[in-house]
Amino acid sequence: MNRYRYCLAILLGCLCVIGFSGLRVYAYESLNWLKDTLIPIFEEQTGIEVTLVTLGDAGNILSRLILEKRRPLSDVVLGLDQSLAYRALSEGLLEPVAPRNADRIVDKSLFFEPEGYLYPFDYGALAIIYDPDRLPDPPTSFRELTTRPKSLLIQDPRNSSTGLAFFLWTVAVYREDWREYWKALRPAILTLTTGWSEGFAKFEAGEAPMMVSYATDGAYSYHAYGSDRYKAFIPMEGAFYQTEYVGVTKGTENPEQARLFVEFVLSERFQSEVPLNQWMFPTTPVELPEAYEHAVTSSIHVSISAAEVSKNLDQWLAEWEEIMY
Amino acid sequence: MESAIFIPFFLPPVSTVIAFSLLFSTNGLLSRLGIHIPILYTMWAILVAHAFYNSPIFVKYIGAALRTIPPALEEAALCEGAGRWARFWRIEGPLVLPAAAKAFFLCFAYSFMSFAVVLNLGGLQYSTLEVAIAGALRGQFDFSRALTYAIAQFGCLFLLNALLSLIPEVSTGGAPLSLSRERPLRLTTVSSALYAAFEYGIVLIGLLGLCYDFRLGAFSLEPFLRLFSADFNRRFPVIRSLINTFGVASLAAIGAVLAAFLFGKARGNWAQRVILPTLGVSSAFLAMALLYLHILYRLPLFLLLTLGYLLSTLAVAYALMRPMVRNFPLHWVESAKIDGASRLQVFRSIELPLLFPVFAAVFFQVFAIVFGEFTLPYTMQIRDYLPLASVVNYAMDAQRYYRESAAFSGMNTAIVGALFLVSNALIQRRRVI
């Protein structure tokens, strides 16, 4: 019998040893590119071991932070955007941090109030991307978008930050009439994906000719295929910008190491990788690659205040669900 | 051959979803052949996928019931001049009905709780309670809504299980027949062939992904070999996921087999009443409970996941094990006890050797279910802590590594198929004993 007991003890011992040390960074799925590019550089520079935990889309990061509020398992949070940041702050999930290189961020309007918690590391306008081979005459406005049955891929606003940003974009454009707009848009939607990555996989597989994505996707197309294989357009009603932030989890056991990571995210090394990997604009002065000339822009900007979003979002999403299902 | 029809039932759901998109997407195999069947994200895709998955239950139950009809009954009917239809309505139909009803309920329950297929093929309009629970927990963290759905799901399946237990076991006393003496109708032959082509066609497409590049239309082992390269493993921990999955699935299957054996030996029907309703427990909800245990008490995920799988497969293991354990000749056990053997000695020297093929068969079937299971690790989002094959495969597909994803999916299909064949060979050995 003793033999069995020894085996059991060794097994339990092994299970307990399989733990994690170092810094845990929560990010969303499409930030996975950091794993084999920038994370090894940070590890080499600082000697700090990093575990990058990718959790679906940014909405999933927020729910995991709420779940872990009492006993946080993460140190750094990468990828919350303005619509999620408000909730993260009001729930008290973040800790103030003072990266020494924060002054590298040129456009101060990108900062999230109150300052000191979140630092913008990239931003970009949302856009509708399309395959010109399958859609030679793309729509030009939100209204026209509703006339193309089963041709648009969108992300679930309840799970995905891109999906939520698209939803808020329509609210910013249509204000009180957004419900009517979504009723009209519904037949044009082929399907709803849980995140941007899943959506883009389906778009690239040719399942639908249009998808909600980013204005820089024209640049991606030019870079990846050497041509404008996929084009993007911003509906004439105006552009909606999404800003993504890095912050430190409240209750982290490694505040000093977490600060170093935030500094790394704002550093030249990290920021210069943003344009061609993250396909968003960096927030610090970095020379943009040639492909970025293919990114679409718009002179009209629409937005919605974080306070208004926070006050109404749950109600809006419940109503959205009623319309969609 | 008939038992091999059960392979699709054990296929990893992610592999099935990948096979469906290889077949039906606008760039898929059928489109290239000029056959446009745009069913993805429609009710049709969901129906076809669930028919693919669950129809083997009907084949198994109805096939087994047909074989126990005593030949004397059929012969008597023949002597009375009854034709095929008369025999179907008056003999085969009524005698097969309880088995068909059981298969119907099981099929209903599995479809009712479906997750990966509906999540990926359900599109905009279609959802199951399980998908809604995972969405509420992962996305908005709406605990009360998830709990309401979980209770509703449990209630429905509890009722279903109660109804199921009302169906009487029909015993005709007939010995299993090996072959029908009549030639089957041509319609039966054709429809059986079409059915087999449908089931195995999808399995074959999945398997082919291992060595065939559907997008380029050429054979290539390159994506498969890349699965094991160091670079690729840095981004998608394929090797680690296989080791973890084998570890978790083996331990959970051993636990489920032993627990099912002990419950199967229990007198009366209480064990059945307690265990079978656990089929209705939401896996997404269980996942969240396990994750919370990890967060609060830092319990190792490996242990929690093993326990989770043990709980979620116990009902299946019990259902498979119970008839064998019930029919075990008790007089051998009693003789051993009279001779002074302890419980452990009885188990080691009598029950284990005689029931070993049964244990092994149930072990492999539970192992195959756990191997492909997707709901728990997907809802827990633990791919970077404890990668398992199903979620790593899903992530590859989501991140557009289609060729590698199809190769991994093909390999997982092959593993499950091989496990099934081993398990089947063991059952055949038991029949010999």
DSSP B58-79: HHHHHHHHHHTS-HHHHHHHHH
Distance CA A99, CA A114 (A): 15
Distance CA A299, CA A129 (A): 18
A269-314 pLDDT, tens digit each: 999 999 999 999 999 999 999 999 988 988 899 999 888 888 898 8
Using pLDDT thresholds of 50, 70 and 90, give the confidence band for residue B175. Answer: low
Answer whether B160's CB lies under 8 Å from B108's CB.
yes
From the CA of A106, how many Å to the nearest CA of chain B? 32
Q: Is there a cis peptide before residue A114, judged by omega within 30 degrees of 0?
A: yes
Q: The domain that contains A206 carries what CATH number?
A: 3.40.190.10
Residues A170 and A276 in one domain: no
Higher-confidence residue of B151 and B214: namely B151
Residues A161 and A309 in one domain: yes
Alpha carbon of residue A314 to chain centroid: 20
Torsion angles phi and psi, residue B320, rounded to 5? -75, -35
Mutation to test the B interface, candidates A20, A64, A135, A203, most B Cβ within 10 Å: A64
Please indicate whether, in this complex, the C-beta atoms of A18 and B296 are within 8 angstroms of each other: no
Residues of A in Cβ contact (< 8 Å) with B399 = 29-30, 32, 197, 201
Residues A175 and A320 in one domain: yes
Question: Given CB atoms, is B27 within the 8 Å cutoff of chain A?
Answer: yes
Q: What is the pLDDT along chain A (325 residues), one digit of tens a residue?
A: 455 555 555 555 444 444 456 899 999 988 989 998 899 999 999 999 999 999 988 888 998 999 899 999 999 999 999 888 988 998 999 999 999 999 999 888 899 888 899 999 999 999 999 999 999 999 999 999 999 999 999 999 987 889 999 999 999 999 999 999 999 999 999 988 888 888 988 888 788 999 999 999 888 888 887 877 889 999 999 999 999 999 999 999 999 999 999 999 999 999 999 999 999 999 999 999 999 998 898 889 999 988 888 889 889 999 998 998 7
Which of A89, A5, A23, A55 minimizes the C-alpha distance to A261? A23
Distance CA B104, CA B115 (A): 19
Residues A206 and A319 in one domain: yes
Residues A253 and A117 in one domain: yes
Question: DSSP class of residue B185?
Answer: P
Residues of A in Cβ contact (< 8 Å) with B302 = 15, 18
pLDDT at B286 over 50: yes
pLDDT at B230: 92
A96-111 pLDDT, tens digit each: 999 999 999 988 889 9
Using pLDDT thresholds of 50, 70 and 90, give the confidence band for residue B372. Answer: very high
Residues A110 and A9 in one domain: yes
Please indicate whether, in this complex, the C-beta atoms of B135 and A53 are within 8 angstroms of each other: no
Residues A110 and A148 in one domain: no
Question: For strand A76-81 and strand A23-27, is the pairing parallel, antiparallel, or unpaired?
Answer: parallel
The shortest CB-CB distance from B295 to any of A16, A52, A67 is to A67
Element (H, E) at A183: helix A178-185
Residues A221 and A280 in one domain: no
Q: How many domains does chain A have?
A: 2
Please indicate whether, in this complex, the C-beta atoms of B231 and A36 are within 8 angstroms of each other: yes
From the CA of A259, how many Å to the nearest CA of chain B? 22
The shortest CB-CB distance from B292 to any of A32, A67, A186 is to A67
Residues A177 and A92 in one domain: no
Residues A109 and A87 in one domain: yes
Answer whether A29's CB lies under 8 Å from B399's CB.
yes
The domain of A11 spans 2-122+243-287
Residues of B in Cβ contact (< 8 Å) with A32 = 235, 395, 399
**CA nearest A54 in B: which residue?**
B384
Question: DSSP class of residue A157?
Answer: T
Please indicate whether, in this complex, the C-beta atoms of B395 and A205 are within 8 angstroms of each other: no
Residues A250 and A206 in one domain: no
pLDDT at B319: 86
CATH superfamily of B3-432: MetI-like (1.10.3720.10)
Mutation to test the A interface, candidates B140, B145, B243, B375, most A Cβ within 10 Å: B140
Using pLDDT thresholds of 50, 70 and 90, give the confidence band for residue B281. Answer: confident
Residues A179 and A226 in one domain: yes
Above 0.85 for ipTM, yes or no?
Answer: no
Burial A288-319 (b: 16+ CB within 10 A, else e): beebbebbbebeeebebebeebeeebeebbee
Q: Which residues contact A116 (CB under 8 A, 6 or more apart)?
A: A96, A97, A98
Using pLDDT thresholds of 50, 70 and 90, give the confidence band for residue B432. Answer: very low
Mutation to test the A interface, candidates B43, B244, B298, B399, most A Cβ within 10 Å: B399
The mean pLDDT of B177-202, rounded to a whole number, is 79
Annotated domain spans of chain B: 3-432
